[in-house]
């Protein structure tokens, strides 16, 4: 590229930066005027409102005047918010105005037009021409989809065809061009090399400048209600999903807000890891949750919900034997649609018999017994749904409670409690009596009325929580109704092996007030079928990361909980680490969806790890040969065969070497939390190290110890697998855990073992790693 061209480009950058500077100045000026307006409006809100409550008409007029004033205020606040957003984007553009340029000659046009692409759009000073196109604009899609040559894009008015005569990439920092490449088919391998060769960080970065063609398809898909992405470890699923969120927020900016989108992440640490990507792209973060938190919010508070991580930990630490087999058989069956069918049959059965109700009690007094409620319930016409009948029971119970309350308020305890009421209660009673013009001077009658009122207040207050529970239909004992499923007789075809044992252990857990994780969704499904469910209509798009961890039953629950939603579903079958997902359908299984509404895309190219790490890791999983490592070289993974007592000093040496190499994040990865705690005990005090647990919500640079299930979705400059011996990794189900752990490393991977090595390593050809034996 000729030197003068770079000079010309820099001159253009300078001009654009000047325009940005002027815009920033202008908006800052306007913003302070709007801000002043807001402050004045807030200060003088009531002065500018006409308040008159004399006649009904005056009241309406007052209401209208308040509404008008409030609308004015909120309009100004909205403008202020928009200006802030514009300023943030402009400030970012001032540093890096754009990262790409394409020259495109539309069919039938004589000249090619140069289009510059950045994270936001920018018009010239006269607001006539685009100096920068937002990467999400339709025309910008060509930058990601085509090499120079014939190309096209879908504009709002239809397809536009033409010829791309140039595709150029820039690295611009602080307004200075640091690098400039004209690129071919894929978006600059040179730039991608540079980006991927950089250090890992405690926060994920946006990939806007280097989005690959196949990722662009995910990002810009608008046609399919359910978009499933099966992608190898490190293929950019999460990155593409976040870019997609930014794309959709831009594309549907008039109708879609960030709080209409919800992202399910695998663990709280991951939420913090990805939290800066959207703000970096000038968008607000979407609602984030974990599936466990989402379920916990809905499950009855009487039950102690098991954490999915505890379930995994329990399965991984339990010795091989009957107990483990039963637990796994239970987990798998309860994740299946066959079990949901069983619950549907149970719900049908409940129409005729089997509902269990709680006694309605107040101060140790049974107002209506559960048995009596049952009789009333089953006396209602059984053609109605369970919910309809329960609503009638609810109204009947509220009447019974009202009658009870009237009687009960005559009791002595009520007056005793009334003496404890505070001054404000007395003042309000006095006011009420006065309003009713019932309070003249001290007459006997007034004292009597006052006492009646006091009794009523006390009783109403005390009975209110009970009424609340009845209104929520909490008189149904869902816990018991659910555990009854495990007392029924079934034919052998409908139940899995070990059903008897599964029943026994489930009953025991429910009797103790525990809800095993595998029962959480089936239980909620049944409970909401009985007591009704409120669908969430606010959320219109769900993004589900690590979707291989979700069962068909969980998918169907989410579909019902978010009835209007579209979903972007991303995952990797090779990283399934929960017992429910292994060798079974998961949310990634296409056939679980209506064929007209679903599209499945596959990402095979992996960007995170060096070619050496990926060649090593992909040999571990079936079908791994299809995964294409990105061509970035590094050290061969190192397998160190040592003794238990030799491990600490090897780890400490490695950590020093990583630091000397300039690495900033490195993890010692264990299979379980138990193993991580052991490693932590071994190393704490000897180096600066942090143990990551379920309760860790953020991780910083440095050395951490972490179990695989908490490291999902996250990456490190270097990773050490703490125990790659046969004792630790040999069960069929542990293969994917092992693969997930290895693929967390970007630049270096070390595996330690003592005793026999994991049989999974037998699948890796010796040329793909370096073997060292240290110790006796």
Contacts for 622 with CB less than 8 Å, ≥ 6 apart: 574
529 vs 346: CA distance, rounded Å: 11
| Residue 211 engages ligand ATP in binding (rule: CB under 6 A) | yes
Alpha carbon separation from 593 to 291, 418, 543, 596 (Å, rounded)? 20, 60, 16, 8
Tokens of 699: 């991780």
Assign 227 to helix, strand or coil.
Answer: strand
Residue 235 counted as an annotated binding residue: yes
Residue 535 counted as an annotated binding residue: no
The answer to whether 534 touches 472, Cβ cutoff 8 Å, is no
Residues of this chain, 684-713, that bind ligand ATP according to CB under 6 A: 713
| Residue 608 engages ligand ATP in binding (rule: CB under 6 A) | yes
| Residue 212 engages ligand ATP in binding (rule: CB under 6 A) | yes
262 vs 518: CA distance, rounded Å: 23
Window of 20-28, 84-92, 189-197, 341-349 that interacts with ligand ATP by CB under 6 A: 189-197
Residue nearest to ligand ATP (CB): 236
| Residue 87 engages ligand ATP in binding (rule: CB under 6 A) | no
Q: Residues 738-757 vs ligand ATP: string with x where CB under 6 A?
A: -----x--------------
Q: Smallest Cα–Cα separation from 188: which of 162, 165, 170, 163? A: 170
Q: Residues 435-454 vs ligand ATP: string with x where CB under 6 A?
A: --------------------
Q: Figure out which of the listed residues 118, 175, 231, 268 binds ligand ATP, where binding follows CB under 6 A.
A: 231
| Residue 669 engages ligand ATP in binding (rule: CB under 6 A) | no
Tokens of 598: 């679903």
Of 192 and 328, nearer to ligand ATP (C-beta) is 192
| Residue 266 engages ligand ATP in binding (rule: CB under 6 A) | no
**Count of positions on this chain that bind ligand ATP (CB under 6 A):** 24
Window of 41-49, 102-110, 210-218, 675-683 that interacts with ligand ATP by CB under 6 A: 210-218
Residue 236 counted as an annotated binding residue: yes
DSSP secondary structure of 349-395: HHTTS---B--EEETTEEEE-HHHHHHHHHHS-TTS-HHHHHHHHHH
| Residue 169 engages ligand ATP in binding (rule: CB under 6 A) | no
| Residue 641 engages ligand ATP in binding (rule: CB under 6 A) | no
Of 238 and 615, nearer to ligand ATP (C-beta) is 238
Of 339 and 709, nearer to ligand ATP (C-beta) is 709
| Residue 624 engages ligand ATP in binding (rule: CB under 6 A) | no
Residue 711 counted as an annotated binding residue: no
| Residue 627 engages ligand ATP in binding (rule: CB under 6 A) | no
| Residue 522 engages ligand ATP in binding (rule: CB under 6 A) | no
Alpha carbon separation from 479 to 14, 300, 355, 486, 522 (Å, rounded)? 68, 9, 11, 12, 12
Of 506 and 609, nearer to ligand ATP (C-beta) is 609
| Residue 90 engages ligand ATP in binding (rule: CB under 6 A) | no
Phi, psi of 698, deg, nearest 5 = -155, 140
Of 210 and 479, nearer to ligand ATP (C-beta) is 210
| Residue 227 engages ligand ATP in binding (rule: CB under 6 A) | no
Of 19 and 746, nearer to ligand ATP (C-beta) is 746
Q: Smallest Cα–Cα separation from 481: which of 296, 297, 303? A: 303
731 vs 748: CA distance, rounded Å: 26
516 vs 307: CA distance, rounded Å: 8
688 vs 76: CA distance, rounded Å: 50
266 vs 719: CA distance, rounded Å: 20
The three-state (H, E, C) secondary structure of 685-744, written as one string: CCECEEECCCCCCCCCCEEEEEEHHHHCCCCEEEEEECCCECCCCCCHHHHHHHHHHHCC
Residues of this chain, 61-80, that bind ligand ATP according to CB under 6 A: none
Of 457 and 627, nearer to ligand ATP (C-beta) is 627
Residue 238 counted as an annotated binding residue: yes
Window of 170-178, 237-245, 355-363, 405-413 that interacts with ligand ATP by CB under 6 A: 237-245
Window of 44-52, 203-211, 663-671, 725-733 that interacts with ligand ATP by CB under 6 A: 203-211
Q: Residues 565-604 vs ligand ATP: string with x where CB under 6 A?
A: -------x--x-----------------------------
DSSP secondary structure of 105-163: EETT-SS-EEEEEESS-EE-TTS-SEEEEETTSGGGHHHHH--SEEEEEEETTEEEEEE
536 vs 260: CA distance, rounded Å: 10
**How many Å is the maximal CA-CA distance in the chain?**
106
Residue 100 counted as an annotated binding residue: no
Which secondary structure element, helix H or strand E, spans residue 182, and what is its range? strand 176-182
Window of 72-80, 155-163, 233-241, 309-317 that interacts with ligand ATP by CB under 6 A: 233-241
Window of 86-94, 105-113, 228-236, 254-262 that interacts with ligand ATP by CB under 6 A: 228-236
| Residue 548 engages ligand ATP in binding (rule: CB under 6 A) | no
| Residue 244 engages ligand ATP in binding (rule: CB under 6 A) | no
| Residue 717 engages ligand ATP in binding (rule: CB under 6 A) | no
Q: Figure out which of the listed residues 41, 195, 657, 726 binds ligand ATP, where binding follows CB under 6 A.
A: 195
| Residue 207 engages ligand ATP in binding (rule: CB under 6 A) | yes
| Residue 216 engages ligand ATP in binding (rule: CB under 6 A) | no
Q: Figure out which of the listed residues 234, 268, 629, 637 binds ligand ATP, where binding follows CB under 6 A.
A: 234
Q: Figure out which of the listed residues 30, 173, 205, 471 binds ligand ATP, where binding follows CB under 6 A.
A: 205
Residue 619 counted as an annotated binding residue: no
The distance of closest approach from Cβ of residue 207 to ligand ATP in the complex, given in angstroms and rounded to an integer, is 4
| Residue 235 engages ligand ATP in binding (rule: CB under 6 A) | yes
CB contact burial 637-659 (16+ within 10 A = b; e otherwise): bbbbbbeeebbeebbeebbeebe
295 vs 561: CA distance, rounded Å: 11
Q: What is the DSSP letter of 169?
A: E
Of 234 and 370, nearer to ligand ATP (C-beta) is 234
Window of 235-243, 388-396, 553-561, 690-698 that interacts with ligand ATP by CB under 6 A: 235-243
The distance of closest approach from Cβ of residue 351 to ligand ATP in the complex, given in angstroms and rounded to an integer, is 45
| Residue 238 engages ligand ATP in binding (rule: CB under 6 A) | yes
Of 140 and 485, nearer to ligand ATP (C-beta) is 140
Expressed in angstroms, the distance from the first to the final Cα of the chain is 59
496 vs 486: CA distance, rounded Å: 13
The distance of closest approach from Cβ of residue 169 to ligand ATP in the complex, given in angstroms and rounded to an integer, is 12
727 vs 316: CA distance, rounded Å: 12
133 vs 125: CA distance, rounded Å: 15
Where helices occur in 562-686 by DSSP H, the ranges are 611-618, 647-660, 673-683
Burial (CB count <10 Å: 0-12, 13-18, 19+), residue 635: middle
The distance of closest approach from Cβ of residue 580 to ligand ATP in the complex, given in angstroms and rounded to an integer, is 18
- Residues annotated in the binding site for ATP, as ranges? 231-238
Binding site listing: 231-238
- Interacting residues toward ligand ATP by CB under 6 A: 192, 195-196, 205, 207, 210-212, 215, 231, 233-239, 572, 575, 607-608, 713, 715, 743
């Amino acid at each position: 590229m000729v030197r003068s061209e770079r000079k010309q480009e820099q001159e253009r950058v300078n001009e654009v930066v000047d325009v940005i500077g002027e815009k920033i100045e202008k908006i800052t000026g306007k913003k302070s005027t709007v801000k002043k307006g807001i402050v004045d409006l807030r200060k003088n809100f009531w002065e500018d409102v006409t308040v008159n409550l004399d006649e009904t008409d005056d009241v309406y007029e007052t209401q209208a005047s308040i509404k008008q004033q409030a609308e004015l205020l909120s309009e100004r606040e909205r403008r202020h918010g928009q200006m802030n957003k514009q300023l943030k984007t402009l400030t970012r553009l001032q540093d890096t105005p754009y990262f790409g340029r394409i020259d495109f000659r539309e069919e039938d046009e004589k000249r090619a037009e140069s289009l510059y692409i950045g994270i936001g759009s920018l018009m010239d000073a006269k607001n006539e021409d685009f100096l920068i196109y937002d990467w999400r604009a339709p025309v910008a899609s060509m930058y990601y989809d085509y090499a120079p040559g014939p190309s096209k894009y879908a504009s709002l008015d239809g397809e536009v065809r033409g010829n791309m005569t140039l595709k150029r990439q820039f690295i611009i920092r602080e307004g200075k061009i640091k690098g400039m490449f004209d690129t071919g088919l894929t978006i600059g391998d040179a730039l991608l090399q540079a980006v991927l060769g950089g250090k890992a960080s405690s926060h994920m970065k946006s990939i806007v400048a280097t989005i690959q063609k196949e990722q662009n398809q995910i990002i810009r898909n608008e046609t399919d209600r359910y978009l499933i992405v099966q992608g190898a470890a490190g293929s950019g699923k999460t990155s593409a999903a976040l870019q997609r969120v930014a794309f959709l927020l831009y594309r549907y900016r008039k109708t879609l807000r960030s709080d209409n989108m919800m992202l399910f992440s695998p663990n709280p640490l991951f939420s913090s890891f990805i939290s800066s990507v959207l703000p970096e792209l000038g968008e607000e973060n979407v609602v984030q949750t974990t599936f466990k938190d989402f379920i916990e919010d809905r499950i009855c508070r009487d039950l102690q919900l098991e954490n999915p991580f505890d379930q995994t930990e329990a399965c991984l630490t339990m010795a091989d034997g009957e107990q483990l087999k039963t637990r796994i058989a239970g987990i798998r069956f309860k994740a299946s649609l066959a079990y949901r069918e069983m619950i549907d049959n149970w719900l049908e059965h409940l129409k005729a018999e089997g509902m269990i109700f709680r006694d309605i009690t107040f101060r140790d007094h049974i107002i209506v017994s559960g048995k009596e409620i049952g009789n009333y319930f089953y006396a209602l016409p059984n053609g109605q749904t369970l919910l309809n009948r329960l609503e009638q029971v609810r109204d009947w119970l509220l009447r019974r409670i009202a009658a009870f309350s009237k009687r009960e308020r005559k009791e002595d305890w009520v007056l005793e409690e009334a003496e404890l009421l505070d001054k404000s209660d007395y003042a309000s009673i006095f006011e009420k009596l006065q309003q009713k013009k019932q309070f003249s001077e001290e007459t006997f009658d007034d004292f009597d009325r006052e006492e009646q009122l006091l009794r009523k207040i006390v009783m109403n207050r005390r009975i209110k929580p009970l009424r609340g529970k009845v209104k929520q239909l909490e008189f149904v004992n869902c816990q018991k109704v659910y555990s009854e499923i495990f007392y029924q007789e079934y034919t052998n075809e409908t139940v899995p092996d070990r059903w008897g044992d599964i029943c026994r252990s489930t009953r025991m857990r429910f009797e103790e007030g525990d809800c095993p994780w595998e029962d959480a969704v089936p239980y909620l499904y049944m409970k909401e079928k009985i007591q009704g469910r409120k669908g969430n209509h606010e959320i219109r798009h769900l993004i589900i990361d690590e979707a291989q961890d979700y069962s068909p039953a969980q998918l169907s629950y989410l579909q019902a909980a978010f009835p209007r939603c579209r979903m972007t579903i991303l995952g990797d079958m090779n990283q399934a680490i929960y017992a429910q997902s292994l060798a079974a359908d998961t949310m990634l299984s296409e056939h679980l969806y209506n064929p007209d509404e679903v599209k499945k895309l596959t990402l095979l190219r992996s960007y995170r790890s060096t070619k050496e790490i990926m060649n090593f890791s992909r040999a571990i999983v079936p079908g791994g040969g299809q995964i294409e490592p990105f061509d970035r070289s590094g050290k061969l993974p190192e397998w160190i065969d040592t003794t238990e007592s030799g491990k600490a000093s090897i780890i400490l040496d490695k950590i020093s070497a990583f630091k000397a190499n300039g690495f900033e994040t490195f993890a010692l990865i264990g299979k379980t939390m138990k193993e991580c705690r052991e490693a932590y005990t071994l190393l704490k005090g000897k180096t600066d190290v942090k143990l990551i647990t379920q309760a860790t919500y953020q991780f910083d640079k440095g050395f951490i110890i972490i179990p695989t299930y908490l490291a999902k979705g996250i990456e490190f400059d270097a990773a050490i697998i703490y125990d790659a011996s046969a004792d630790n990794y040999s069960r069929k189900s542990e293969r994917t855990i092992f693969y997930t752990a290895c693929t967390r490393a970007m630049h270096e991977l070390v595996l330690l073992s003592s005793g026999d090595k994991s049989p999974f390593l037998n699948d890796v050809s010796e040329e793909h790693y370096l073997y060292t034996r240290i110790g006796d």
